[in-house]
Chain A
Amino acid sequence: MLQQASLTLRDGTTLDDLIMRDTNEVSLRVMTDEELYGHEMERIFAKTWLLLGHESEIPLSGDFVVRDMAEDNVIVARDREGNVNVSLNVCPHRGMRVCLGEAGNKPIHQCIYHGWAFKPNGDFIGAPVEREKMHGNNVDKATLGLKKARVHLYGGLIFATWNVDGPSFDEYLGDIKYYMDQLFCRTDSGLELLGPPQRFVLPCNWKVPGEQSGSDGFHTLTLHRSLMEGGVMGGTAESIYDQAPGMYGVDVSCEQGHSLRCLEAEKTFKMFADIPFEGKSTVERLNLLTPPGITKEMIPQLFNNLSEDQVEQLATFPPQVGGMFPNILIAFIFAPRMDGGSSGALALHTYVPKGPNQVEFVNYIFAEKDAPEQMKRDMLQNAIQGTGTSGTIEQDDADVWPVIMRNARGGVSKHMTLKYQALHGHEQPEGWKGGGLLYPGFTKDDTQWNWWMAYHKLMSES
């Protein structure tokens, strides 16, 4: 039996009216409804783990960046002990933003309004004119710090949540961790953010790009047709649907709503050079086609940091694209270059809600810290030319999403549904070592439906 949803909107509409679990449909109304958005802020964004950047951005004591946990602005700062702290950027005195810059180094954050001052870890230091006790006559200073979020570092990625007593980060990740580790925890020195993120806003609800980040592979063939026309994905412009490049593999997912598309390296490789993998060992395969961002010299590092089974998967079915619920897109992709190289592109996006009708697209671009400088340079270009603001792949996504949004406002249109009825059902592929919900074959709607089920679950819990 389906569990009864505990969310009912003022007009009597229930969550089950909007997310139809019996028919695998979602009402377009979810993209525009202001009341629903208010609940999302509390039930999802004030509760789940959110990505805020990478620790390589703030290497020194006092270094900080300012980021957004949905519409809550936070300071992400390194303290004297070397720990990363996330504090609400709202002065507890009169509500002013304490830190007005986007990045820098400050041993003390002082509010420009009345001068209350805070440490990088958010602790209250004091208010000016100490003898007058302007922080309050009988108020304990320890209670006046900036509101602190719970922080977890994963592969150097900075995650935070307001849910101090909620699930651990590992519980949040679930069975997908085995696969995520292959991207984020595979080298000795880890990843490095190559610069501050690109930021731009789109006039659409965060869930329009959000549901796509649940591993929508199918849109690639049509919306990203230019990848095929440009020879990036194999096939020709005439044979796109016959050959369906990049559509077959194993999509992995979990009930937490995260997913990754693992594409068969041999087929991907054929797009580059047409050398078969048959009878080759894991190391030989890795040497033939190094995973995006990895050099041949770094292959031994993979064995230092991952299990043999994980390395074997990286050599045969490397995870390429996917996402983490609620608002992270992962693109760790092969990116053949005009100069013959294929150093890859490593990018993460967060889709940060800015009201029901606006989302900020934040694009973080990475390289492995141990990669040679020229490779980092190439990878920066690969990612900029493919993803984010001007990227030729994601330009087209940014053009579609606002149009869906405009459709969602029509009195008739808003009752239309998004359909997730091309379902495979999970099954264990032969010889597959990892766990989670597995969908071998042609990419279908399962992983995106799991994304909506994770949404439904959180929205049902007040």
Chain B
Amino acid sequence: MTWVTKSTAAPDSTTILRGLVSRRRVPLGSEIYNRLLETLYDEAATLDERRFDDWVAMLTPDLVYQAPIRITRTGPNKDRDVMRTMFHFDEDYTSILMRTGRLQKSAWAEDPPSRCRRFVTNVRVAECETAGEYEVVSYLFLERSRGDNPHNEQLTAERRDIWRSADGGYVLSRREIIVDQSVLGMSNLAVFL
């Protein structure tokens, strides 16, 4: 076995990419901004209320839904901490359907279900190259209550989305969830972010 071969696990596979890529901003308070913000609020309510069929209807068939892991780094590479070689979620439309289908049967992790509140803030919007597509970056704060445990599990993340105009509304075609913890404090991710 040779050890000089570059591995995908090597730490230089990290990237720094965060926030908006496009410079064509959609200003705060504009109609498109307001409607996208409303869509994010609607989506949060859909998930908090566990209306998974309604949520799936907000997703495109070419969906990419990923949550790369974060690692702690020092020195010149200290900001290159998003590892896009390993994920907490690595999903497409089909696998999301598998997950939501499972949640309607014997998924003990969510039966009894968690009580969740998804707080969505710091929303920034820009136009993509493709007409009718928007980059939407938001902060997510998830509070999750399980069983009779009075202490909520929490998670904070930045979400980098692409929402596409469709049928007078918007549908989600890409989401990258950048969690802040290198070691998650939540005992599973049986809920969507």
Instruction: Show the binding face of A for B, using Cβ within 8 Å.
Output: 54-60, 63, 65, 78, 82, 99-106, 156, 189-190, 192-203, 223, 225-226, 229-230, 237, 338-339, 360, 365, 369, 376, 380-381, 384-385, 388-390, 392, 394-396, 398-400, 402-403
Contacts and interface: CB of A to CB of B under 8 A. Distances in A.
Interface of B: 1-13, 67, 69, 71-75, 77-78, 83, 85-91, 94-95, 98-99, 101-102, 105-110, 147, 182-190
Contacts of B108: 223, 396, 399-400
A370 to B, nearest CB: 11
Nearest to B84: A195
Contacts of B1: 55, 156, 189-190
A83 B98 CA distance: 44
Nearest to A82: B3
Contacts of A392: 98-99, 102, 107
Contacts of B182: 102, 199
Interface centre among B1, B9, B13 (most CB of A within 10 A): B9
29 contacts: A56-B3, A56-B7, A57-B7, A59-B5, A63-B11, A82-B3, A101-B78, A105-B11, A189-B1, A192-B8, A193-B8, A195-B9, A196-B11, A197-B86, A198-B88, A199-B183, A200-B184, A226-B106, A229-B106, A230-B98, A365-B86, A384-B88, A385-B99, A389-B184, A389-B188, A398-B187, A398-B188, A399-B109, A403-B147
B67 to A, nearest CB: 8
A226 B88 contact: no
Contacts of B88: 198, 384, 388-390
B187 A203 contact: yes
Given A196-B9, A199-B183, A369-B5, A385 B90 contact: yes
Interface of A is mostly: mixed
A9 B78 CA distance: 46
B3 A55 contact: yes
Contacts of B12: 105
A365 B86 CA distance: 9
Contacts of A376: 8
B9 A56 contact: yes
Contact of B10 (A63, A189, A200, A369): A63
B7 A192 contact: yes
A195 B67 CA distance: 13
Contacts of B77: 104
Nearest to B185: A201
Interface centre among A82, A338, A399, A400 (most CB of B within 10 A): A399
A402 B186 CA distance: 12
Contacts of B95: 338, 381, 385
A103 B14 CA distance: 11
A102 B83 CA distance: 12
A202 B9 contact: no
Contact of B187 (A106, A192, A201): A201
Contacts of A365: 86
Contacts of B185: 200-201
Nearest to A55: B3
A189 B3 CA distance: 10
B69 A390 contact: no
The 3 nearest A-B residue pairs measured at CB? A195-B86, A195-B85, A395-B109
A398 B109 contact: yes
A59 B3 contact: yes
